[in-house]
């Protein structure tokens, strides 16, 4: 039974028994300056207990039922356990000089054990034991007995537990009887018989009243048979959102720090999908994501020093603004479509970056027949096409196989190794384009390189050229290449043989070749330009003179 069904059942149950349904009052009380926040359903009804207001005039009857937004700062330190909250919803039925203990207890028991079919085995109750000012509540004890509860199921407790004091410093009050389910207090039935004055003395009220309050979250926990309120349907989707957000932000931080940037392909697509899913969550603000990404870095930086907060945040921010623009255009397109299939969904993805999950989330009924497997198949088809296309254009980024081109190709390997030594191991190649005239090389890196860094890379490459290192090719399995510390794209199928080119012990890359045999033939290496290519990606143009 969902919490919403519980809400409705409760209201209907008491409406059928002559209660007028009254909406919740505000959390900030209108005309009760004695409390800062509304702590109970009875608060809006205080004047009807004292006789200051006439319930017949306002409700037509002397009994009401409500679901009250309530707030308990007194429970703040218990929040996080299985049953305490600051804000909660209180189901309550109220009588102002109308029915009293008998009806109140019988109905409560009927609602719990008959209407909701909670086994009496799971329940026990408590009543007021009595003290010097107020006698023991024998009447409630006897009513519970008549309903079949054994003596040991009726606990007697003192003022602390079973006496409702007035909200604020004066007001109606009286003994209570409480229903516990699985050891948790769920329903409090207050029998207002007294008025407590500011000096704490009690005088009997002219008319007796009933004020009950039952925590919806705790009731849902009992009915849904879960062990904490956070597992009830009242929290479920919120908790799920937080979990997805946690996972995706953690994964995002690690991917970006290892050089992945969002794109529509391969690793970049995985990252884009995670990031955009979180960005698209209705409940989540960009600032929340940023904070979480920072927290991830803080949490794991000790063990994973490669986590790079600046890089993570700048990649996130750029992707976020791209996404905002894309989603507006995408939504307009989506509106025009009547039904979504894998092909149209892929088009939305390709043109606007709306990922599968997002489309599924926002398209509602239009996406009823859309499934992940079909989309994946469509996605794969396009990936293969684009891979073949780029493979045809230039092998290993080479425009041709002229002698100069081959020299540039080897220089590119030297440069990547130098970049990784100088800027850090997180640097990875993002693309290259080599012609007989120059080398163009893209790599993951958040900051602009300083002139010193550029000089260091140049010097290191030239040093390795001077050392006239041998260039060697070996064939091995992908796993062996990985074990040998080769850089490159590990996207091939398991067990596939790959070529690994080593330049002395300075560089080792998975690569199809071709390369020169000794670095000495390369001449003088010079970086002529270093610029941004896209978010988190820098582009270098270099020459061999």
Q: Return residues touching ligand SER (CB under 6 A).
A: 40-42, 92, 164, 188, 190, 211-213
Minimum distance, C-beta of residue 92 to ligand SER, in the bound complex (Å): 5
Minimum distance, C-beta of residue 72 to ligand SER, in the bound complex (Å): 9
Minimum distance, C-beta of residue 194 to ligand SER, in the bound complex (Å): 14
Residue that is written with structure tokens 């207090």 in the block: 185
Question: Measured between alpha carbons, how far is 539 from 524 in angstroms, rounded to an integer?
Answer: 20
Minimum distance, C-beta of residue 273 to ligand SER, in the bound complex (Å): 47
Nearer to ligand SER, 92 or 353 (CB): 92
Nearer to ligand SER, 188 or 232 (CB): 188
Which residue, among 164, 93, 92, has the nearest Cα to 127 in the 3D structure?
164
Minimum distance, C-beta of residue 250 to ligand SER, in the bound complex (Å): 41
**If residue 454 lies in a helix (H) or strand (E), which one and from where to where?**
helix 451-466
Number of other residues whose CB lies within 10 A of the CB of residue 511: 24
Nearer to ligand SER, 161 or 361 (CB): 161
Minimum distance, C-beta of residue 18 to ligand SER, in the bound complex (Å): 19
Q: Is 296 helix (H, G, I), strand (E, B) or coil?
A: helix
Buried b (16+ CB within 10 A) or exposed e, 94-133: bbbbbbbbebbbebbbebbbeebebeeeebbbbbbbbeee
- Closest residue to bound ligand SER by CB: 213
Nearer to ligand SER, 190 or 540 (CB): 190
Nearer to ligand SER, 207 or 263 (CB): 207
Nearer to ligand SER, 46 or 277 (CB): 46
Minimum distance, C-beta of residue 126 to ligand SER, in the bound complex (Å): 13
Residue 277 is encoded by which pair of tokens? Answer: 């899913």
Q: What value does the CA radius of gyration of the chain take, rounded to a whole number of Å?
A: 36
The values of phi and psi at residue 371, to 5°, are: -130, 160
Query: Would you call the peptide bond into 319 cis, given omega within 30 degrees of 0 as the criterion?
Result: no
Nearer to ligand SER, 55 or 213 (CB): 213
Nearer to ligand SER, 164 or 352 (CB): 164
Strand partners, 526: 543
Residues 6+ apart with CB under 8 A from 457: 415, 418, 419, 422, 449, 527
Which residue, among 74, 72, 133, 118, has the nearest Cα to 222 in the 3D structure?
118
Q: Is 402 helix (H, G, I), strand (E, B) or coil?
A: coil
Minimum distance, C-beta of residue 304 to ligand SER, in the bound complex (Å): 49
> What percentage of the chain's residues is helix, strand, coil (to nearest 5)?
45, 25, 30
Minimum distance, C-beta of residue 187 to ligand SER, in the bound complex (Å): 8
Which strands sit side by side in the sheet containing 537-544, from one edge to the other?
429-434, 439-444, 537-544, 525-534
Minimum distance, C-beta of residue 369 to ligand SER, in the bound complex (Å): 49
Nearer to ligand SER, 91 or 348 (CB): 91
Strand partners, 179: 125, 187
Residue 240 is encoded by which pair of tokens? Answer: 């799920």
Strand partners, 518: 470
Nearer to ligand SER, 190 or 216 (CB): 190
> What torsion do the CA atoms of 396, 401, 404, 409 make, to the nearest 10 degrees?
20
């Amino acid at each position: 039974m969902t919490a919403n069904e519980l809400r409705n059942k409760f209201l209907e149950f008491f409406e059928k028994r002559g209660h007028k349904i009254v909406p919740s009052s505000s959390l900030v009380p209108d005309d009760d300056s004695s409390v800062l926040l509304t702590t109970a359903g009875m608060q809006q009804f205080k004047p009807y207990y004292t006789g200051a207001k006439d319930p017949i005039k306002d409700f037509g009857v002397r009994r009401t039922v409500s679901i009250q937004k309530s707030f308990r700062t007194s429970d703040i330190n218990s929040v996080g356990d299985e049953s305490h909250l600051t804000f909660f919803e209180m189901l309550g039925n109220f009588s102002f000089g109308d029915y009293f203990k008998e009806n109140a207890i019988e109905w409560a028991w009927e609602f719990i054990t008959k209407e909701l079919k909670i086994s009496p085995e799971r329940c026990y109750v408590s009543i007021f034991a009595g003290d010097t000012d107020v006698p023991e509540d024998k009447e409630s004890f006897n009513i519970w007995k008549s309903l079949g509860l054994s003596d040991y199921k009726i606990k007697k407790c003192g003022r602390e537990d079973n006496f409702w004091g007035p909200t604020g410093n004066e007001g109606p009050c009286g003994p209570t009887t409480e229903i516990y389910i699985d050891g948790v207090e769920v329903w409090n039935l207050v029998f207002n018989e007294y008025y407590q004055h500011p000096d704490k003395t009690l005088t009997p009220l002219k008319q007796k009243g009933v004020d009950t309050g039952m925590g919806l979250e705790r009731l849902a926990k009992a009915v849904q048979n879960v062990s904490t309120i956070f597992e009830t349907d009242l929290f479920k989707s919120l908790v799920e959102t937080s979990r997805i957000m946690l996972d995706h932000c953690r994964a995002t931080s690690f991917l970006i720090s290892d050089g992945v940037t969002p794109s529509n392909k391969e690793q970049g697509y995985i990252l884009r999908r995670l990031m955009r899913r979180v960005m698209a969550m209705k409940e989540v603000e960009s600032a929340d994501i940023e904070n979480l990404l920072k927290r991830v870095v803080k949490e794991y930086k000790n063990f994973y020093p490669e986590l790079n907060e600046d890089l993570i945040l700048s990649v996130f921010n750029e992707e976020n603004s791209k996404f905002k623009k894309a989603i507006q255009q995408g939504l307009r397109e989506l509106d025009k479509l009547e039904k979504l299939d894998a092909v149209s969904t892929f088009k939305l993805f390709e043109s606007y970056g709306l990922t599968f999950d997002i489309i599924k989330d926002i398209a509602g009924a239009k996406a009823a027949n859309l499934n992940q497997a079909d989309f994946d198949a469509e996605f794969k088809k396009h990936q293969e096409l684009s891979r073949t296309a780029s493979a045809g254009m230039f092998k290993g980024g080479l425009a041709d196989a002229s002698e100069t081109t081959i020299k540039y190709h080897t220089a590119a390997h030297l440069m990547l190794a130098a970049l990784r030594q100088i800027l850090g191991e997180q640097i990875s190649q993002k693309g290259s384009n080599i012609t007989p005239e120059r080398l163009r090389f893209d790599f993951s890196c958040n900051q602009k390189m300083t002139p010193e860094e550029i000089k260091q890379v140049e010097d290191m490459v030239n040093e390795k050229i001077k050392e006239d290192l041998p260039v060697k090719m070996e064939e091995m399995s992908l796993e062996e290449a990985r074990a040998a510390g080769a850089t490159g794209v590990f996207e091939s199928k398991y067990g596939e043989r790959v070529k690994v080119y080593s330049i002395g012990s300075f560089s080792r890359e998975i690569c199809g070749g071709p390369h020169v045999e000794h670095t000495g033939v390369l001449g003088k290496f010079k970086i002529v330009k270093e610029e941004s290519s896209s978010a988190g990606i820098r582009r270098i143009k270099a020459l061999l003179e």
